[in-house]
Structure formats: structure tokens, C-alpha cells
Structure 1
Amino acid sequence: MRWPSRLPIDPFIAALLATVVLATLVPARGEAAGMGRVATTLAIALVFFLHGARITPRAALAGARHWRLHVVVLLTTYAVFPLIGLAAAPLRPDVLTPELYQGLLFLCAVPSTVQTSIAFTAIAGGNVPAAVFSASFSNLAGVVLTPLLATALLHDTGAVQMSAGAVGTVLLQILVPFALGQLARPLIGTWIDRHRTLTGWMDRGSVLLVVYMAFSAGVVAGVWDEVSPIRLATLIAVVCALLALALGLTYTAGRLFRFDRADRATILFCGSQKSLATGLPIAAVLVSPQLLGLLVLPLMVYHQIQLAVCASLARRWGAREE
């Protein structure tokens, strides 16, 4: 089925919004919530197993020689973004509630996307091999760096506490499945590549389950009473400003360090995006179910806006190249 091109929203985002509405109207309670948590644990492991099985280190190494480009992207993703998040502290509590500000900080710790970064780079006429390596390495690093950064950024808030138990959970639910996926790549890599649609649905279905359980827990705990329409509109404005700043900084860095046009496009699209598919499962591991819904809301908003804005930018860059 082809998604109608006239609709201004990505179909996956539409499914996410529908899942939020479902969780609001019919939240999981009692025994159903317990079963859902078990299913969520398995789904998170599946997500990272598929991430590990998809990434092809040998193919990605074709773009590894552009080390200056990769340094810029990694610094933007894991240093500049967190610094911007910390600089936004004066926004609380008048502009953003403490919970939404925590979500903004977590958003700043999430790795770049893989598929969309590469796709937008290709549309814009950018350096695709470099985008493959940069986006893949960002996610490889994010498996370790995102939990560590999230813990450091949110430690004072109490939302994330990297205890010995939490470290064990991260290892079992994120690192071990990811490593198993990498080890299984020689055996199942061909099948994964041939059935990208099926594995994509499995990936997205796992994320939808995480979202449903997160928002169900929030509804049961009554946390959504804290998010008024005005607060939501303010959050959207703040997220738009963050994306505009990220795009401006990556574009400026590309010109400042005298990269050619193809490399500037790669820096722009790999350095400014944040991965919902990776960020949500990591958040589900680190954060209690009652706090998870509000924590991931900024990331969900950012993801939809970045898709719309970066798709338009990629088409413009591609038209100029032609």
C-alpha cells in the first residue's frame, strides 16, 4: 500500500500518534500491564538485534577515510547537542515543565538516524559512502554513549540512575542483542537484506509497543494532566528552534572547515537528525514506566519535524545539483 503523498505526515508518525491515542483511551492495567512489560523487554532486545544484524561494517568502511567529516558529525551528535540541552536550562519551569526539559536533554543524547540520514544524503547528491559509515558508527557508539550521556545529563533530576542493576539491564537488553546481531550477520545478513520490509515492520512494531506501554503507564499515573495544549505548543516551538540551530551549526561547520558540497550535505543530514527507533528502546530501559511517556515526547516531536524539514532540504539540494 502506498501512503497518499498529499498527507503532510509520515505514516510511521501517524501510527505513533494513533498508538498514543489508543494508550490514552485504553491504557494497559493490572495483569495486562505486566504482560506488556515482558513483551516490551523482548521487543527492545529484538530492535537491537536487528540493528546489529543490519549494520555492515565492511560496506560502511568504504567511507571511513573521511575522518574529519566523521569527527564533525560525532561531536555534533554527542557534544554539541548535549551542550545545547544544558544551555536550555533557563527554559524550565516557565517554558518547559521539568519533565519535558528532561525529555529535551534525553533527545540531545540520542544517536543519529541511519536509514533517513543516508536517504536524504543520497537525494541531496551528498557523499553516500561517508553517510553510511557516519550514521552506522553513530548508532554503534550510541549503544554505549547514549545511556552514559543520558545518565550524566539527567543524574540531578533523578529520572535516570545508572545503578549496578541498570548497567546489567543495559547489557542484557541493548548491548548483548546488538552484539549477537553483529555476530549473526554472516549467517542472516543476506536474509535481512532481502526482507527489509518485513524486518522494518518488526522494528517499527517493537517501537509502537514501547510507545503504547510508556503512554499507558503515564495515563495510569496521571502524568498527562501536566501537559496542557499551551505546553505542547511551546514544546513544538522549542524543538523547532533546536532543529534550526542544529541545521545552522552543521551547515556552518561544513563551510568553515572547507568541505566540498557532497561532504557538507552528509554533515548536514547526519549531524542534525536524531533516531526515534534507537532512542525509544534505550529510554525504556533507563527510565521508569511512569516517567517514560513525557520523557520521549520531545524526541517524538523532533522526529516528525526533522523528517518534514530535511526531506524538503534534500530535494532542494538535489535540484541545485541537477
Structure 2
Amino acid sequence: MLNRIRLKLDKFVLAIIIIIAIAYMFPQWGAEESPIPIDTISTIGIGLIFFFYGVKLSPSKLKAGLSNWKLHVLIQATTFLVFPIVILLFRPLIQNEEQELFWLAFFFLAALPSTVSSSVVMVSIAKGNIPAAIFNASISGIIGILITPLWLGLFVQSSQTDFDFTEIYLKLILQIIVPVVIGMGLQRFLAQFVQKHNSKLTLFDKSIILLIIYKSFAESFSKNLFSSVSILDLLTLFIGVLGLFGLIFLFTAFIANRLNFSTEDRITAQFCGTKKSLVHGTVFSKILFGNMASLGLILLPLMLFHASQILIISVVASRYQKRKV
């Protein structure tokens, strides 16, 4: 089972690399003058992603998960407070516009909610607290709809992007909240269908994410925005991503030990508290930044973080799996 999950996750990382290569070779398909309506397709796709997310979101499981409040507070505080504060500490070091853009990309990563599917899968492999993982992964996406734009609004207003809170939240309501609510309302009619076709729906979700990534990088390549990014810059970004992940991973372990969490709860805290959602990241970037030319650069640390967290957590989960419960 573990090997199958690893292979599936690795395939998606490989697909991201391939789609970026396609964007580099054929940027004209994603350019503004392209006849292909990628923006329209991705907008409809986003709505469908969160509609089916609403169908799968169980109110009873969310209600049952409320009792373990210390674990929930640690995970959500780490996701939405500790992550951004760590990146804020580096803001005084910015010296030019390029560094400002990379810092904003890291801050965008830090302000995002946790991922749902991989968090629950990895906690399951590691024999952690699965109900708590489901609760926190699900509630994180809902909190992120409110918190992520607030964090970004503190700094994006001064950039080239027209950051209008009214328009941003209207888009979030129409593209995310409304589909989720409708999906939850239709659970009793569609739950069995979604369960039966879950693998196909997962493939659909990833296809939409790849489409958004292609569009973002195609526009950046067409305007030669990556020409100023050197191998040293990429290496620095990767080291920064690993450092950020390692710091948060150790922080959640330290706090969990101080709070005398069980091994299962500590696993859940570390696995859910260190994750950042590529799905929410690509969706939010499209809504928050629109067709900003440097969107590909904004998404770059998130994709490096996504690949790193999958690799590291997979190894850690397999080690936890071998213990006797």
C-alpha cells in the first residue's frame, strides 16, 4: 500500500515538472492572446473541485473532532500564525525588488491552509490520529478562505496587483464557498457516486491544478520573467523551503511533547501542521493575484515545498508505521 501511495504522489510531482517544461516549450497556448479559454476552463474546474469537496465533507466527523481542542489549536496556530511569523522575520533583509518578489512568494506559501488528502493518507500510514487529521485538514481549508487573503492583503496592496478585498472575497464566495455549501447540501444524493468515482475525481482535481500551473508558468515564460532567476537562486529557494519545513516540523514536535500528546496525536500535529496545500495555493493565486505576470515565480516555492513535504513525510511515515501500537 505504501509503495502504491508513494508512486501516486511521485507521479503528480513528475507531472508538475512535465507541465512546466511544456509551458517553457509552448508558452503561446497560455498567453493572453491565446484562443484557448484556459481561464474559463480553470474557473469552472475550481468550482467543481470544491463542489465535490463539499460532498465529501462530513459534518458529523467535523462535529466529533471538536473534543481534542489542544491538538486542533496547535495545528491551526502553526498553519496560520507560526508559518507567516517565521517568514515575517526575514522581511527586514529585503534589499531589492527581486528579493521582495521571492519573499512575497514565501509569504504566500506560509499563509496557505494545510492540504487535505496527503495529510490524512500520511497520518493513516504512520498510525496516527486519523479522525483528528480529517477534522484539521478539512477545517484548515475553510479557515484559509478567510485568513489567507487577510495575510496577503497586508503586503500585496503596495505591489503591482490591484488587491480589492471586496472583489477577492466575492470571488472566494462564488468559486469556493457556494460550491462547498451546495455539495454539502447534496451529500445524501451524491455521496455514493463520489465514493465510487473518487479516483477519477482525484485525477480531475489534479488536471485542473496542472492547467492552472501551466497557465501561470506560460505567461511568465512568454514575458521572460525567469531570465533573471539563476541556478543559485533556485538552490537558495530550495534550501529555504527545506529550512522552513524542518523548523516547523521540529517546532510542532517540541510543543506536542510539552503538552504531553500521545504518539498518535504528535504524529497528527507534525504531519498536518507542516503541510501546505498545492490545490488551495494554485486556486488562491489565481483569485488573489489574477493574471499577474510573475505568478509563476509566486508559485515556485510552493511547488518546491509540495515536492519536499511529500518526500520527507513519506519517509517519516514509513518509519512510524513499523512501530508496535
**Aligned partners of 1:227 and 1:8: how far apart in 2?**
30
| Structure 2 residue aligned with 1:306 | 309
Cα deviation for residue 91 of structure 1 reads 4.8
**Aligned partners of 1:286 and 1:24: how far apart in 2?**
24
Show structure 2 runs of 5+ residues with no match: none
Cα deviation for residue 43 of structure 1 reads 1.9
| Structure 1 residue aligned with 2:260 | 258
Cα deviation for residue 62 of structure 1 reads 3.0
| Shift in CA distance, 311/256, structure 1 to aligned 2, threshold 3 Å | same
**Aligned partners of 1:160 and 1:58: how far apart in 2?**
40
Cα deviation for residue 120 of structure 1 reads 1.4
Write the mapping of 1:239-258 to structure 2, written as runs, cut at 5 A.
239-258=241-260
**Aligned partners of 1:48 and 1:72: how far apart in 2?**
26
Cα deviation for residue 158 of structure 1 reads 4.5
Cα deviation for residue 104 of structure 1 reads 0.3
> What secondary structure sits across from 2:186 in the alignment?
helix
> What secondary structure sits across from 1:126 in the alignment?
coil
| Structure 2 residue aligned with 1:294 | 297
Large movers: runs of 4+ above 6 Å: 2-9
- Over residues 56-79 of structure 1, what are the superposed CA-to-partner deviations in whole Å (9 max), with x where a residue is unaligned? 121343332101110111100011
* 8 Å contact kept, 1:150–1:160: no
Cα deviation for residue 5 of structure 1 reads 9.3
* 8 Å contact kept, 2:32–2:219: no
Cα deviation for residue 38 of structure 1 reads 1.6
Cα deviation for residue 4 of structure 1 reads 8.7
* 8 Å contact kept, 1:95–1:234: no
In angstroms, what is the RMSD of aligned CA positions? 2.4
> What secondary structure sits across from 1:64 in the alignment?
helix
Cα deviation for residue 83 of structure 1 reads 0.4
Write the mapping of 1:71-110 to structure 2, written as runs, cut at 5 A.
71-93=73-95, 97-110=99-112
- Over residues 103-142 of structure 1, what are the superposed CA-to-partner deviations in whole Å (9 max), with x where a residue is unaligned? 1000001111111111111222211111111111111212
**Aligned partners of 1:299 and 1:79: how far apart in 2?**
17
- Over residues 24-45 of structure 1, what are the superposed CA-to-partner deviations in whole Å (9 max), with x where a residue is unaligned? 1101235426611221221222
| Shift in CA distance, 224/320, structure 1 to aligned 2, threshold 3 Å | same
| Structure 2 residue aligned with 1:47 | 49
| Shift in CA distance, 9/163, structure 1 to aligned 2, threshold 3 Å | closer
| Structure 1 residue aligned with 2:10 | 10
Aligned residue identity for 2:23: A
| Shift in CA distance, 66/33, structure 1 to aligned 2, threshold 3 Å | farther
**Aligned partners of 1:132 and 1:316: how far apart in 2?**
21
| Shift in CA distance, 321/95, structure 1 to aligned 2, threshold 3 Å | farther
| Structure 1 residue aligned with 2:66 | 64
**Aligned partners of 1:231 and 1:308: how far apart in 2?**
22
2:314 corresponds to 1:316: no
| Shift in CA distance, 144/53, structure 1 to aligned 2, threshold 3 Å | farther
TM-score under structure 2 normalisation? 0.91
Candidates 198, 201, 204, aligned match of 1:202? 204
Of all paired residues, the percent bearing the same amino acid is 30
Candidates 270, 273, 292, aligned match of 2:272? 270
> What secondary structure sits across from 1:161 in the alignment?
coil
> What secondary structure sits across from 1:143 in the alignment?
helix
Cα deviation for residue 206 of structure 1 reads 0.6
**Aligned partners of 1:189 and 1:125: how far apart in 2?**
26
- Over residues 155-198 of structure 1, what are the superposed CA-to-partner deviations in whole Å (9 max), with x where a residue is unaligned? 34444613433332222222222222222222212211121101
Candidates 111, 114, 117, aligned match of 2:116? 114
- Over residues 264-295 of structure 1, what are the superposed CA-to-partner deviations in whole Å (9 max), with x where a residue is unaligned? 11101010111101211111111132121111
**Aligned partners of 1:59 and 1:9: how far apart in 2?**
26
